[in-house]
Amino acid sequence: MMRRKLVAGNWKMHGLRAQLPEIEAIAAAAAANPSVDAALCVPYTLIHPAAQVAGALPIGAQDLHEADKGAHTGCISAPMLVEEGATLTIVGHSERRGDQHETSHDAYMKAAAAHRHGLKVILCCGELEAERAAGRAERIVQSQIEKSLPDDADPSWLTLAYEPRWAIGTGKTPTPDEIASMHAILRAKLRMMIGEEKAEGVRILYGGSVTGANAAQILALDNVDGALVGGASLTAEKFVPIIEGAASVS
């Protein structure tokens, strides 16, 4: 099955209104590469202003609370994200798992909440460097998917992202064989859980030190359907070459 490439940027805790021209420039580049899907997940404070200048470029959130409302100080719900103009959200990101001690069940509940309110979901999984060194990477990632994949998972709204936690922001990148192997394992796991037809439609992104220099090589690999990009998505200068790299192999 031919799956369209998706290049999604995660701005993390970066971005003020002064950076809105970068979003406009990225949106223009995305429009100029129609064979590729692109999106930006920005801080909550930028969702509404970004959506006003992004045109057809989808603007998303980086997290959400599983409840629609309640006594959850500082948290943001799916209805709030939708009202601000978000059309997607990330859940289960490795930094949330590590820094906020979130579990795969948390990711499961958040994905369900997002889908309930019409948001598309990028569901993340990935191992620590020590887990890979111990030969446990495959087992860890499969377990995360088993515990976090929503019951009604469907390619119309769900995307997976494999992000080895030791490669995020470090400049380290798994070898092409290691990336292709893990993505094949994820595809096989999806087939077991949701059936052949749906599994073939789910996009699996790679995340971890993706740059304009290595994007085309990584995105040409089997079962790599795009990229989840951190720091390199903050400026058009760095992010646009990744979009163009995706277009070159689409």
Phi and psi, residue 15, nearest 5°: 115, 120
Supply the pTM of this predicted model: 0.97
Average pLDDT of the residues in 142-154: 96
Coil, helix or strand at residue 147: helix
pLDDT tens digits for range 11-31 = 999 999 999 999 999 999 999
Coil, helix or strand at residue 79: helix
CB 241 within 8 A of CB 219: no
CB 126 within 8 A of CB 95: no
State the pLDDT at residue 173: 80
**Catalytic sites, residue numbers:** 93, 163
* Percent of the chain with pLDDT strictly greater than 90: 92
State the pLDDT at residue 143: 97
The conformation of residue 127, written as its DSSP 8-state character, comes to: -
State the pLDDT at residue 93: 96
CB 150 within 8 A of CB 110: no
The helices-and-strands tally (H runs, E runs) of the chain is 11, 8
* Residue 51 or residue 209, greater confidence: 51
pLDDT tens digits for range 149-182 = 998 999 999 999 999 988 877 778 889 999 999 9
Express the helix, strand and coil content of the chain in percent, nearest 5 each: 45, 15, 40
State the pLDDT at residue 102: 97
Confidence grade of residue 209 (pLDDT, cut at 50, 70, 90): confident
Closest CA to 199 of 210, 182, 185, 209: 185
Average pLDDT of the residues in 27-39: 98
Q: Name the amino acid, one letter, at 29.
A: A
Question: What's the rounded Cα separation, in Å, for the pair 134 and 188?
Answer: 22
The conformation of residue 234, written as its DSSP 8-state character, comes to: S
Average pLDDT of the residues in 76-97: 97
**Does pLDDT of 124 surpass 80?**
yes
State the pLDDT at residue 97: 94
Phi and psi, residue 107, nearest 5°: -60, -40
**Does pLDDT of 69 surpass 80?**
yes
CB 86 within 8 A of CB 39: no
